[in-house]
Structure 1
Amino acid sequence: MFVTGVVNSILTFRVRESREAGCGMYLLALSITSLLTIAMFTAKFWFLILTQINPTVSRSVLHGGCRLLEFILKVFLYTDNWFNACVALERWVTVYKGVYFKKQSSKRTARILIIFLPLIITISMIHEPLYRILYDDKHEQTRMVYTSLSSCTSQI
Structure 2
Amino acid sequence: MVVGFINGVLALITFNNKIICKVGCGLYLLGSSITTLLTTIIFGLKFWILIVAQMTFVSNRLFLRIQCMSLDFILRVCLNMDQWLNACVAIERAVTIIKATKFHKKTSKKIAKIVIVILVIFTIGTSITDILYRRLIEEDNEDYKRIWCIVSYSSSVKTFNSIMHTIHFLTPVIINLLGVIILITRKSRQRSIFQINRNFKELLKEQISEHKSLLAAPILLVILALPRLILSFVSRCMESTNDAWLFLIGYFLPFIPPMLTFVVFILPSKFYKQQLHKSLAAYRTNVQRQLNYII
Give the TM-score category using the shorter length: 0.7 to 0.9
| Alignment partner, residue 116 of structure 1 | 118
User: Aligned partner of 1:88: which letter?
Assistant: A
Q: What is the identity, as a one-letter code, of the residue corresponding to 1:62?
A: L
The aligned counterpart of 1:21 is 23
Residue 44 of structure 1 and its aligned partner are, at CA, apart by 0.9
Identity %: 40
- Using the alignment, how far apart are the partners of 2:42 and 2:150 within structure 1? 20
Deviation of 1:142 after TM superposition, in Å, equals 4.7
Aligned with residue 8 of structure 1, among 1, 7, 10: 10
Of 111-120 and 10-19, deviating more is 10-19
Q: Deviations over 1:81-135 (max 9, x none)?
A: 1111111111111122222222221111001122232122112222211112333
Q: Quote how far apart the aligned CAs of 1:143 are.
A: 3.9
1:50-129 residue pairs with structure 2 within 5 A? 50-54=52-56, 57-129=59-131
Aligned equivalents of 1:18, 1:66: Cα separation in 2: 37
Mapped contact 2:68–2:136 kept (Cα < 8 A)? no
Q: What is the CA distance between 1:47 and its match in structure 2?
A: 0.9
2:38: which partner in 1?
36
Alpha-carbon separation, structure 1, partners of 2:30 and 2:41: 17
| C-alpha RMSD of matched pairs (Å) | 2.8
In 1, distance between residues paired with 2:12 and 2:29? 12
Larger radius of gyration: 2
TM-score, normalised via structure 2 length: 0.45
The equivalent residue for 2:49 is 47
Letter in 2 for 1:147: V
**Shift of residue 137, structure 1, vs aligned partner:** 4.9
Q: Which residue of 2 aligns with 1:147?
A: 151
**TM-aligned CA deviation for residue 59 of structure 1:** 4.4
Q: Distance in 1 between matches of 2:15 and 2:96?
A: 23
Q: TM-score normalised to the size of structure 1? A: 0.80
Measured in 2, the distance between the counterparts of 1:23 and 1:84 equals 9
Aligned equivalent of 2:166 = none
Higher alpha-carbon deviation: 50-59 or 21-30? 50-59
User: Is the contact made by 1:5 and 1:38 (CA closer than 8 Å) also made in structure 2?
Assistant: no
C-alpha distance 40-4 of structure 1, shift in aligned 2 (>3 A): same
Stretch of structure 1 that moved more, 61-70 or 104-113: 61-70
Structure 1 distance, partners of 2:66, 2:79, is 20
Structure (1 or 2) with the greater helix fraction:
2
Q: Which runs of 5+ in 2 are unaligned?
A: 153-157, 159-231, 236-295
3-state DSSP of counterpart to 2:128:
coil
Amino acid at match of 2:150: Y
